[in-house]
């Protein structure tokens, strides 16, 4: 072999040795390699797709946390539905826990002379009412002036009183008009309303009219002015005691209402008459006759008891729905197996199934309400109607007892109140779930941060891999070129 051939071989082997050294250096993981700005550019591999798959796989760790949060949230919603149904049943029970409710009456009036509103102490009966006079408020009219907007000689103090009471002093400016005086009276709170009437007189048509805000002869008006010699003082003067009378004229006389109830004459300062019929307020509308019938409102009591039964049955339906299970589909209610709901059911059964005192009625079954196998209540309306019609006092005692907590309605109301109060059974269970959701949220955040750190680490490693493969590809191309050159120099094909 000639010296030229050896030289050619040496020149060909040297690049190969350098390439092998470079490959070994790359294999050590030295970070001195160039950075690839977009994954896969250097290697030709789908590194972004692989990173997305790894990210999706890592985020699967969040799914159980999310599912648990959703489960707890569904339970909170279910507790909300339970609470709403319990509150409605509590309202129905509370209505029956009021002794006055059982004393309610209805009043029916035949005739248009009066209307009536009965209270709980109204005495049932029939009352014939005859109205001969309505109560009227007194009105006084001053003499007329030529212009309601003209300044009057009115300086001084105007004093108004009603029914002989303490007078109200109103300071009137010297340049006040009739309109100003009217406005001052209306703003004074004297119990008198002032207005201006145009009576059509050619010279002095504008007259100030004062009307008492209350009816009856005990609400007559007195008017005086500190300067009787002034123009306003000459207009505004009236003495209700009937002395000098004054310059004002009485346009409407005060009157008391006059009526009779079952032949007994009654006088009233107002057209709203209380006490003429025990526990009933009569409102007089016109003169004439009317007949008032007052009866116990048995219908309202029966309706309230039916509402109690219906509300409890709706609660039972809701609880059954929340604890349901479908064997075919596997679908289950949000509170299936829940200890709180079981406690609610147990406490309500005990309250409804227990005894309420030692009176005529002691248990629900005594008034026609029976507990069914499915947990609902069934009402015998005929038995209830008989109890309302013939034993209303005993029925009231059964539901209300000697005090608010003594009767069955009071006992049920108390049980429900303890369930629904702040810190009660339902609130504590709801709060426990909310606390669990909060802890799961914190766990979700920590897990997500770990996933993000892991994916960031993968991205860095993939970038290094991409760069290394790019350099190796470059080295491979270089080696191939050198081998091709060496073969060409050696004359090899």
- Report d(CA 232, CA 244) in Å as an integer: 18
What DSSP character marks residue 151? B
Mark whether 338 and 416 lie in a shared domain: yes
pLDDT for 229 beyond 60: yes
Check: CB of residue 170 under 8 Å from CB of residue 190.
yes
As given in the structure block, the two tokens for residue 268 are 């009233």
What DSSP character marks residue 365? G
Mean pLDDT throughout 142-171? 93
Last residue within a domain, chosen from 188, 220, 252: 252
Mark whether 193 and 216 lie in a shared domain: yes
DSSP secondary structure letters along 16-59: HHHHHHHHHHHHTT-TTSPPPSSTTTTT-S-HHHHHHHHHHHHH
Mark whether 89 and 111 lie in a shared domain: no
Mark whether 324 and 409 lie in a shared domain: yes
Q: What is the pLDDT of residue 59?
A: 86
Mark whether 325 and 343 lie in a shared domain: yes
pTM: 0.63
Q: What is the pLDDT of residue 26?
A: 42
Identify the domain containing residue 177 by its residue range.
139-252
Backbone angles phi, psi at 323, to 5 degrees: -115, 15
Check: CB of residue 187 under 8 Å from CB of residue 194.
no
Backbone angles phi, psi at 56, to 5 degrees: -65, -40
Buried/exposed 190-209: b ≥16 CB within 10 Å, e otherwise = bbbebebeeeeeeeebbbbb
As given in the structure block, the two tokens for residue 317 are 């339906």
Instruction: Give the highest mean pLDDT range of 85-89, 277-281, 420-424.
Output: 85-89
pLDDT for 89 beyond 90: yes
Mean pLDDT throughout 133-145? 96
Q: Which long-range contacts (C-beta less than 8 Å, at least 24 apart) are formed by 38-44?
A: 39/459, 39/462, 39/463, 39/466, 40/466, 41/466, 41/470, 42/466, 42/467, 42/469, 42/470, 42/471, 42/473, 43/465, 43/466, 43/469, 43/470, 43/473
Mark whether 154 and 12 lie in a shared domain: no
Q: How are beta strands 139-141 and 206-212 bridged, if at all?
A: antiparallel
Quick one: what percent of the chain has pLDDT higher than 90?
56
- Band (pLDDT 50/70/90 cuts) for residue 142 is very high
Which residues, 6 or more positions from 345, have their beta carbon under 8 angstroms from its beta carbon?
319, 375
Helix, strand or coil, per DSSP, at residue 119: coil
- Report d(CA 91, CA 101) in Å as an integer: 14
- Report d(CA 144, CA 383) in Å as an integer: 74
Mark whether 211 and 242 lie in a shared domain: yes
Last residue within a domain, chosen from 252, 283, 312: 252
pLDDT for 265 beyond 60: yes
Mark whether 436 and 423 lie in a shared domain: yes
Mark whether 147 and 198 lie in a shared domain: yes
Mean pLDDT throughout 94-105? 88
Rg for the chain (alpha carbons), in Å? 49
For the chain, the domain total comes to 3
Mark whether 152 and 276 lie in a shared domain: no
pLDDT for 14 beyond 80: no
| Number of neighbouring beta carbons within 10 Å of residue 304 | 19
CA distances from 345 to 88, 317, 351 (A): 16, 12, 10
- What tens digit of pLDDT does each residue of 329-372 get? 888 988 998 999 999 999 998 888 877 777 788 899 999 999 88
- Report d(CA 92, CA 305) in Å as an integer: 8
Check: CB of residue 421 under 8 Å from CB of residue 413.
no
Query: In 77-167, at which residue ranges do the beta strands (DSSP E only) sit?
Result: 105-110, 114-118, 125-133, 139-141, 156-162
Which residues, 6 or more positions from 42, have their beta carbon under 8 angstroms from its beta carbon?
36, 466, 467, 469, 470, 471, 473
- What tens digit of pLDDT does each residue of 237-259 get? 999 886 556 899 999 999 999 99
Q: What is the pLDDT of residue 9?
A: 39
Mean pLDDT throughout 478-483? 77
CA distances from 391 to 192, 396, 474 (A): 53, 9, 106
pLDDT for 61 beyond 80: yes
- Band (pLDDT 50/70/90 cuts) for residue 455 is confident
Mean pLDDT throughout 38-59? 74
Last residue within a domain, chosen from 296, 321, 353: 296
Check: CB of residue 129 under 8 Å from CB of residue 114.
yes
- Report d(CA 117, CA 244) in Å as an integer: 44
Check: CB of residue 363 under 8 Å from CB of residue 356.
yes
Mean pLDDT throughout 373-377? 88
As given in the structure block, the two tokens for residue 110 are 């035949």
Mark whether 370 and 485 lie in a shared domain: yes
Mark whether 425 and 309 lie in a shared domain: yes
């Amino acid at each position: 072999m000639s010296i030229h051939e050896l030289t050619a071989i040496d020149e060909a082997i040297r690049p190969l040795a350098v390439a092998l050294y470079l490959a070994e250096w790359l294999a050590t993981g030295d970070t001195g390699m160039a950075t690839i700005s977009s994954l896969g550019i250097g290697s030709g591999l789908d590194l972004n797709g692989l990173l997305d798959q790894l990210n999706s796989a890592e985020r699967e760790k969040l799914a159980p946390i999310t599912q648990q949060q959703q489960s707890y949230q569904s339970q909170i919603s279910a507790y909300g539905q339970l609470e709403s149904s319990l509150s409605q049943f509590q309202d129905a029970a509370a209505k029956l826990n009021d002794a006055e409710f059982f004393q309610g009456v209805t009043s029916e009036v035949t005739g248009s002379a009066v209307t009536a509103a009965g209270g709980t102490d109204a005495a049932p009966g029939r009352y014939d009412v005859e109205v001969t006079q309505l109560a009227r408020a007194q009105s006084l009219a001053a003499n007329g002036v030529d212009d309601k907007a003209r300044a009057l000689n009115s300086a001084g103090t105007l004093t108004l009183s009603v029914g002989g009471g303490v007078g109200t002093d109103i300071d009137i400016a010297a340049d006040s008009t009739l309109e100003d005086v009217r406005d001052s009276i209306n703003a004074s709170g004297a119990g008198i309303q002032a207005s201006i009437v145009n009576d059509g007189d050619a010279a002095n048509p504008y007259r100030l009219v004062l009307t008492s805000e209350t009816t009856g002869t005990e609400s007559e008006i007195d008017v005086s002015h500190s300067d009787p010699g002034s123009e306003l003082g000459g207009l505004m003067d009236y003495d209700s005691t009937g002395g000098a009378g004054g310059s004002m004229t009485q346009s409407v006389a005060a009157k008391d209402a006059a009526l009779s109830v079952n032949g007994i004459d009654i006088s009233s300062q107002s057209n709203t008459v209380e006490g003429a019929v025990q526990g009933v307020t009569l409102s007089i509308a016109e003169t004439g006759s009317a007949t008032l019938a007052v009866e116990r409102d048995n219908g309202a009591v029966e309706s309230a008891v039916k509402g109690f039964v219906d509300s409890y049955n709706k609660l039972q339906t809701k609880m059954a729905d929340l604890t349901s299970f479908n064997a075919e589909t596997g679908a289950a209610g949000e509170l299936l197996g829940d200890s709180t709901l079981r406690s609610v059911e147990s406490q309500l059964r005990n309250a409804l199934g227990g005894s309420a005192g030692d009176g005529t009625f002691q248990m629900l079954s005594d008034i026609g309400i029976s507990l069914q196998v499915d947990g609902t209540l069934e009402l015998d309306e005929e038995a209830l109607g008989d109890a309302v019609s013939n034993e209303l006092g005993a029925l009231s005692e059964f539901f209300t007892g000697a005090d608010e907590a003594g009767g069955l309605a009071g006992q049920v109301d108390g049980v429900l109140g303890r369930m629904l109060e702040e810190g009660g059974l339902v609130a504590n269970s709801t709060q426990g779930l909310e606390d669990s959701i909060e802890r799961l949220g914190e766990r979700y955040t920590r897990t997500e941060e770990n996933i993000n750190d892991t994916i960031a680490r993968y991205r860095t490693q993939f970038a290094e891999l991409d760069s290394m493969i790019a350099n190796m590809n470059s080295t491979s191309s270089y080696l191939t070129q050198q081998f091709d050159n060496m073969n060409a120099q050696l004359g090899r094909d």
